[in-house]
Chain A
Amino acid sequence: MIAELTIENIGGLRGKNKYQLESGKLNIIKASNAGGKTSLVRGIASVLSIPNNGQYDIFFLREAQKLGIKTDERNPRESLVNIHARIAKAELKYGETFESYELEKNGNYLRLPSKGDQRFLFAGLLSGSSKVLRQLDGMDEENEPDDFLWAVTRLSNAKNYDDISEHLKTSREDIAERKTRTEKELERISSLESDKKNLEHELEVIEDKLTELEPKFRKVSPDLIARRKNTGREIEKQTKEIGKKKGELSKSEQEANNMAGNVEKTKAEIKKIEDDLKNIDLEYSKGLVEKKIEEINREISNLKKARTEIEGKLSLFQIAQVELRERKDEVKCPLCGDGTISFNEITENLEELRKKKNGFNANILDLNQEKSKLERSFVELKEKKTNIETSLESRKTTLNNLMNAQKSKERDTNQLHFDIERIEKKIEDLNQKLEKLKQGINPEDEKINNQYSELEKERAQISIRIGEILEKLKQTSIEVQGISVDLKTAIEISEKSMKTMDHCIEYCRTKAEEQRRKASERFNTHIKKLMENLRFEEFRTVKLNNEYKLYVERLNPETGDYVFQQVRSLSTSEKLSVALILQLALKETYIPDTRFFILDEIIEDFDEERGKEILDYLEKKAGETDWFVIVTKLTEEEKPLYIDIRGE
């Protein structure tokens, strides 16, 4: 199958460039130094990896930036878009599939592919900047050379289960906290219930006494008693009313106090936020960051120039090496053109130049990392400022609402004070009336009358206290998920919720681990198959162990035995071989249906024989799987970038 590839203004490839790729074949992108090979690879990788919402997740975004795929809006010179252009485009058309990615220099996208899979960045492309190679070289910021937990977590569904589990844990903590609060409230209420019960008992005793005294009291003066009793009842009613109002007043004053506290607290928060805002000088920070980045860019540019020079020399020696292998004698020195040079000298020179190139790569990587850090810190600062501003706005709105509520509460409180005063006056009048009524009674009757009055007074007081308790008990519901429920039900709901959360957390933990295990098993199976096919005889075993660490058994040339070898102590070429195996296994494990696999500037770093073996294997692999296998190759030909298609 033919794939039509259009690359427009990406990296060094200016204008519209059309290419054809063929599935089931080895597509070798050939060009001289700075001929646009990596730009073309970045174009393909971007259209295959950018998600359909245009946003890489943070883990993938960092990788996209490292691979030069994601436009960095604050540093257009490093963007995917060609320096002289405003818009870049990558299009890929094969079979029924048409995917297009079009973006502006400032990072805004104009068109997005529909099936981009961000895992392609980690699983479908191997270049000198790829995570696998960075890690094996000990140059990854996040993982030790042998730590591949990220691969079985981030590229499988395990990460999703981990994320769900984290949210569940937070919710569970909130629920547990609510349960504790509710239990305390319930405890307080239980004591109120018990007080109410005691008061009700006391009330019963008083009622009994009153009933007992009633016949004697009735004889005192039926008319007087009737009027007195009515007045007494009215006093009792008004006293209850005043109790209720006082309860409401106490609640209202408490709420007003809380509101005043909240108003003060919010004012203090606003002041603190405003102070924080004053301390963030974005313009100043931007100036500093830009200055530093400019310095780093200059340094990178110098290093790249020096690396290009080394690469030029490397090419000359590689050509000389090929020439010498065919002629088996000495050739002219490729650098000076005078004198002759032997095969061994060329090999030594090549080794020396590769080391230098690796040194430059390492320095460039360090500088790029430093630059990313600076850029990240500036973005974080900017985000922090925006968050603070949003928070300030929200606090101001809260303050406004609080002050309005406070005013309304003050009105309610004043009304209650007024009502209480009015009822107190009424009670006073009633008491005076009662006193007058008492004057028409003789001493014996008065004694009975007093006894009766005392009991009635006591009854009224107890009734008030019961009324107050009932009022407090009414205020004891709690809102759970937007529904108001009583405290016991709230506790029951909390317990059920926590139990359910526990079950879900455990389920997510088990599933995440299961996903990791399965991914690791699949990964190891693919590695094993690749080892059989590639026949890298210096290794017997390459696999992930139970802790997802890379385990390598390497041939000891002195004893002829295979022994465990620390990843960090493998030689550069051995690391490259392991990286190739891992990259192919990642591809087959995580994105088996993606039809593209790319090696950028990798083949040249193997010695010629192994490079040829790998190309032969990739050609066979492409034929078996019908993948588009793409490799870049440096040539000395004086012609523009072209694609050489190899295979049956």
Chain B
Amino acid sequence: MNLEELEKRIDKLARSRTPNGKSIERFISEILKEIVEETLNDS
């Protein structure tokens, strides 16, 4: 996972005036799903 890209995504989320619990959970879920897919593709 490209960490620089990830940091940009965190910044974007933090810049939205008030990120609520749901949008943060959605963001984390997306990240975790990408890690799963990346791992499966690499193996």
Q: Could you list which residues of chain A lie within 8 angstroms of chain B, going by C-beta atoms? A: 51, 57, 157, 160-161, 163-164, 167-168, 171, 175, 480-483, 485, 489, 492-493, 496-497, 500, 503-504, 507-508, 511
Taking a contact as CB atoms under 8 Å apart, the answer to whether A493 and B35 are in contact is: yes
Taking a contact as CB atoms under 8 Å apart, the answer to whether A507 and B7 are in contact is: yes
1/0 contact trace for B32-43 toward A, CB 8 Å? 110110111001
Taking a contact as CB atoms under 8 Å apart, the answer to whether B24 and A497 are in contact is: no
* Given A496-B39, A508-B14, 9 further pairs, Cβ under 8 A: A163-B24, A164-B27, A168-B28, A480-B36, A482-B33, A485-B36, A485-B40, A493-B36, A500-B35
**How close is B16's CB to chain A, nearest CB, in angstroms?**
8
A481, B39: Cα distance in complex, Å: 12
Of A160, A480, A496, A508, which is in contact with the most chain B CB atoms at under 10 Å from its CB? A160
Taking a contact as CB atoms under 8 Å apart, the answer to whether B40 and A500 are in contact is: no
Task: Tell which of B3, B7, B29, B39 touches A489, judged by Cβ atoms closer than 8 Å.
Answer: B39
Task: Tell which of A163, A483, A485, A503 touches B6, judged by Cβ atoms closer than 8 Å.
Answer: A503
Taking a contact as CB atoms under 8 Å apart, the answer to whether A157 and B25 are in contact is: no
A164, B22: Cα distance in complex, Å: 11
**How close is B8's CB to chain A, nearest CB, in angstroms?**
11
Q: Could you list which residues of chain B lie within 8 angstroms of chain A, going by C-beta atoms? A: 1, 3, 6-7, 10-11, 13-19, 21, 24-25, 27-29, 31-33, 35-36, 38-40, 43
Taking a contact as CB atoms under 8 Å apart, the answer to whether B36 and A483 are in contact is: yes
Task: Tell which of B10, B15, B16, B33 touches A508, judged by Cβ atoms closer than 8 Å.
Answer: B10
Chain B hits for A482, CB < 8 A = 33
A171, B32: Cα distance in complex, Å: 10
Task: Tell which of A164, A168, A493 touches B39, judged by Cβ atoms closer than 8 Å.
Answer: A493
A418, B27: Cα distance in complex, Å: 50
A508, B11: Cα distance in complex, Å: 9
**How close is A114's CB to chain B, nearest CB, in angstroms?**
13
A497, B21: Cα distance in complex, Å: 20
Residues A164 and B14 in contact in the complex (CB < 8 Å), given A493-B36, A500-B35: yes
**How close is A152's CB to chain B, nearest CB, in angstroms?**
15
Taking a contact as CB atoms under 8 Å apart, the answer to whether A167 and B15 are in contact is: no
Chain A hits for B17, CB < 8 A = 51
A480, B38: Cα distance in complex, Å: 13
A497, B31: Cα distance in complex, Å: 8
Taking a contact as CB atoms under 8 Å apart, the answer to whether A481 and B36 are in contact is: yes
Taking a contact as CB atoms under 8 Å apart, the answer to whether A503 and B25 are in contact is: no
Taking a contact as CB atoms under 8 Å apart, the answer to whether A497 and B40 are in contact is: no
Chain B hits for A160, CB < 8 A = 13-16, 18-19
Chain A hits for B24, CB < 8 A = 163-164, 167
The 9 closest A-B pairs by CB, nearest first: A160-B14, A167-B24, A481-B33, A481-B36, A493-B39, A171-B28, A497-B35, A161-B14, A496-B35
A168, B13: Cα distance in complex, Å: 13
Taking a contact as CB atoms under 8 Å apart, the answer to whether B36 and A503 are in contact is: no
Residues A511 and B35 in contact in the complex (CB < 8 Å), given A168-B28, A481-B29, A503-B6: no
**How close is A81's CB to chain B, nearest CB, in angstroms?**
26
- 22 A-B Cβ contacts within 8 A? A157-B15, A160-B14, A160-B15, A160-B18, A160-B19, A164-B14, A164-B19, A164-B24, A167-B21, A167-B28, A168-B28, A481-B33, A485-B40, A489-B40, A496-B1, A496-B35, A496-B38, A500-B31, A500-B35, A504-B10, A507-B10, A508-B10
A51, B18: Cα distance in complex, Å: 10
Residues A492 and B1 in contact in the complex (CB < 8 Å), given A481-B29, A481-B32, A504-B10: no
A481, B38: Cα distance in complex, Å: 13
Residues A489 and B11 in contact in the complex (CB < 8 Å), given A164-B24, A481-B36: no
Q: Which residue of B lies closest to A480 (CB)?
A: B36
**How close is B23's CB to chain A, nearest CB, in angstroms?**
10
